[in-house]
Amino acid sequence: MFTPKYPPQDTAPPATAPAPTVHTPAPVQPSAPAPVPAAAVSNRPTVQLTPGSALALAAGGGAVVLVVGAVLVSMLLAIAITATSVAVCAVVLRSLLNAERKY
């Protein structure tokens, strides 16, 4: 069950190496200009920013920064208010317990 199952051996005859071919270079003509390779065409759409779209993108980024900043500041303020109220409750409870011990 856990032993590997290998496919059967290939029964094709072994490939022979191709015979070497003799290459004779063509005569070089210095007057012919070299062809310029064409630029590769990309299938991805290009993004072209106009001044209006760049301004909208900057305004959107600024709005995101302001909203995230406001959320973070409000969370920090909520934590500070909670900590202050817990500290006041602790002082009140301590004073009540100390007053009860005196009587």
Task: Give residue-wise pLDDT tens across range 28-48.
Answer: 666 666 677 777 777 777 778
Report yes or no on 7 lying in a domain: no
Report the alpha-carbon distance of residue 18 to residue 12 in Å, rounded: 17
Report yes or no on 79 lying in a domain: yes
Report the alpha-carbon distance of residue 100 to residue 93 in Å, rounded: 11
Amino acid 47: pLDDT: 78
Amino acid 18: pLDDT: 67
Task: Give residue-wise pLDDT tens across range 48-89.
Answer: 888 899 999 999 999 999 999 999 999 999 999 999 999 999
Report yes or no on 93 lying in a domain: yes
Report yes or no on 44 lying in a domain: no
Domain that holds residue 101: 72-103
Report yes or no on 17 lying in a domain: no
State the total domains in the chain: 1
The answer on pLDDT for 103 being more than 70 is no
Amino acid 21: pLDDT: 74
Entry pTM: 0.45
Question: Where are any strands of DSSP class E within the chain?
Answer: none
Q: Structure tokens of 93? A: 């409870």
Report the alpha-carbon distance of residue 59 to residue 92 in Å, rounded: 49
